[in-house]
A and B are shown apart, each in its own frame.
Chain A
Amino acid sequence: AAMSRKGVKLLVDSLTRSAKHFNKSEVECLINLFDTVVARASSQFAGVGFDRTVFRDTLHSAFGMTDDVVLDRVFSTFDRDNNGCITVVEWVEGLAVLLRGTLEEKMKYCFAVYDLNGDGYISREEMFQMLKNSLLIQPADEEPDEGVKDLVEIALKKMASIYLDYDHDGKLSFEDFEKAVRDEKLLLEAFGPCLPDIK
Chain B
Amino acid sequence: IFSKESSSLEDVGESSSETDEDEKPVRHQEGSTDLSPEYWAVQKLAKYIKGGDPTATVIALCSMRDLDLSEETCQLAIKDTGCLEVLINLLDTEEIKCQTGSLKILKEISENVLIRHAIADLGGLEIMVKILDTPDTDLKCLAAETIANVARFKRARKTIRQHGGIKRLVELLDSISVGSSYQAKDTETARCGALALWSCSKSTKNKKAILKAGGIPLLARWLKCSHTDILIPIVGTLQECASEPSYRLAIRTEGMIENLVKNLSNEHEELQMHCASAIFKCAEDEEIRDLVRKHEGLQPLSVLLDNSENKQLLAAVTGAIWKCAISRENVLKFQEYKTVETLVTLLTDQPEEVLINVIGALGECCQEEENRGTIRRCGGIAPIVKLLTATNNALLVNVNKAVGGCAMEPENMSIIDSLDGVRLLWSLLKNPNPDVQASAAWALCPCVENAKNSGEMVRSFVGGLELIVNLLKSKDKEVLTSVCAAIANIAKDLENLAVMTDHGVVPLLSKLANTNNNKLRRHLAEAIAHCCMWGSNRVAFGEAKAVAPLARYLKAKDPLVHRATAQALYQLSEDPNNCVIMHENGVVKLLLAMVGSTDDALQEAAAGCIANIRRLALATEKAKYG
The chain A residues found within 8 Å of chain B, CB to CB, are: 131, 133-139, 147, 150-151, 154-155, 157-158, 184, 186-187, 189-193
Contacts and interface: CB of A to CB of B under 8 A. Distances in A.
Interface of B: 44-45, 47-48, 50-56, 58-63, 65-66, 97, 100-101
Contacts of B59: 131, 151, 154-155, 158, 187, 190
A186 B48 contact: no
A151 B52 contact: yes
Given A186-B58, A187-B58, A190-B58, A154 B52 contact: no
Given A186-B100, A190-B55, A135 B48 contact: yes
A155 B51 CA distance: 16
A189 B59 CA distance: 10
A150 B48 CA distance: 10
A158 B67 CA distance: 11
A151 B51 contact: no
User: Which of B50, B55, B101: most chain A Cβ within 10 A?
Assistant: B55
Contacts of B61: 186
8 smallest beta-carbon distances between A and B, as pairs: A137-B51, A134-B56, A134-B53, A158-B63, A154-B63, A155-B59, A134-B55, A184-B62
A183 B63 CA distance: 12
Per DSSP, are chain B's interface residues mostly helix, strand or loop, or mixed?
A: helix
B52 A191 contact: no
Nearest to B50: A137
User: Which of B50, B63, B66: most chain A Cβ within 10 A?
Assistant: B63
Nearest to B56: A134
A186 to B, nearest CB: 5
Contact of B55 (A131, A137, A139, A157): A131
Nearest to A187: B62
Contacts of B97: 186, 189
Nearest to B51: A137
A151 B53 CA distance: 12
Contacts of A186: 58, 61-62, 97, 100-101
Contacts of A147: 47-48, 51
A120 B150 CA distance: 45
Contacts of B53: 133-136
A151 B58 contact: no
25 contacts: A131-B59, A134-B52, A135-B51, A135-B56, A136-B51, A136-B52, A138-B51, A139-B47, A147-B47, A150-B44, A151-B56, A154-B45, A154-B59, A154-B63, A155-B59, A155-B63, A158-B59, A186-B61, A186-B62, A186-B101, A187-B62, A189-B55, A190-B55, A190-B58, A193-B54
